[in-house]
Amino acid sequence: MPTPGASESRVNETSTPNHARSRRPSSAAGRADADRGSMRHRLRIHARHRRYIVRRNPKWHGIYRIAVGTIGTIVLLCGIVAIPYPGPGWLIVFLGLGILASEFAWAHRLLKFARSKYDAWMEWMGHQHWSVQAIFWLGTCAIVIATLWLLGALHTVAGWVGLDYGWLASPVFG
C-alpha cells in the first residue's frame, strides 16, 4: 500500500505526464496559434462585456435591437433577391438570419430550420440524375434572363454593341 504522499509525486502510467498536459505549445507556429486564440478569446470577452452593458440600459438595449433588426432585415432581403443569381445568394440569406438570430429567438429557430432544409435540398439535388440537375439550372438561367430583361439590362448591353432590338427593352423601365 502506497504512502499518502507517494501517489501525488508519482505519474500514473495511463495518464499523461504533467509536462505533456501543459497548455503551452512547443513550437513557434503553435505559440502563434495560441496567441491568436488568446486574442480571439479576449475580443469575445470584451464584446460580451459591451453587450452586457448595453442590455443593462433599457434605452440602449432598444436602440441596439432596432439596429440589429434593421441591418439583419436588409441583409436578409438582399440575400433573397440574390438567390437565383450566380453568387452567394444563400450565404447572404444565412448571414442576414445570423445577424437577426444574434438578438431574436424566432430568427435563430428560422435559421436552424432554413439550414436544415437547404442541406436536405442540396443532398437531394446531388443524388438526382444529370437531366434533373440540368432542368434546374436551365430554370435558374431563365429566371436570371427574365429579371435582366425586366430591369432593362439586356437592352442596355445590346446598345453597347450596336444592336437596337425593341423587344429587348424593359416593359417596366422602358
Cβ contacts of residue 112 below 8 Å, gap of 6+? none
Structure confidence at residue 71 (pLDDT): 96
pLDDT in tens, 1-60: 444 544 444 444 444 444 444 455 556 655 666 666 788 888 888 878 887 888 888 888
CA–CA dist 42, 45 (Å, integer): 5
Range in 6-10, 140-144, 150-154 the model is least confident about: 6-10
- Tell whether the model's pLDDT for residue 161 goes beyond 80: yes
Structure confidence at residue 11 (pLDDT): 44
Going by the DSSP 8-state scheme, the letter that residue 167 receives in this structure is G
Could you tell me the pTM of the whole model? 0.58
118 is written with which cell numbers? Answer: 437547404
pLDDT in tens, 61-119: 899 999 999 999 999 999 998 887 777 888 999 999 999 998 899 999 999 999 999 89
Residue among 92, 38, 44, 100 at smallest CA distance from 68: 100
Cβ 110 vs Cβ 97: under 8 Å: yes
Going by the DSSP 8-state scheme, the letter that residue 49 receives in this structure is H
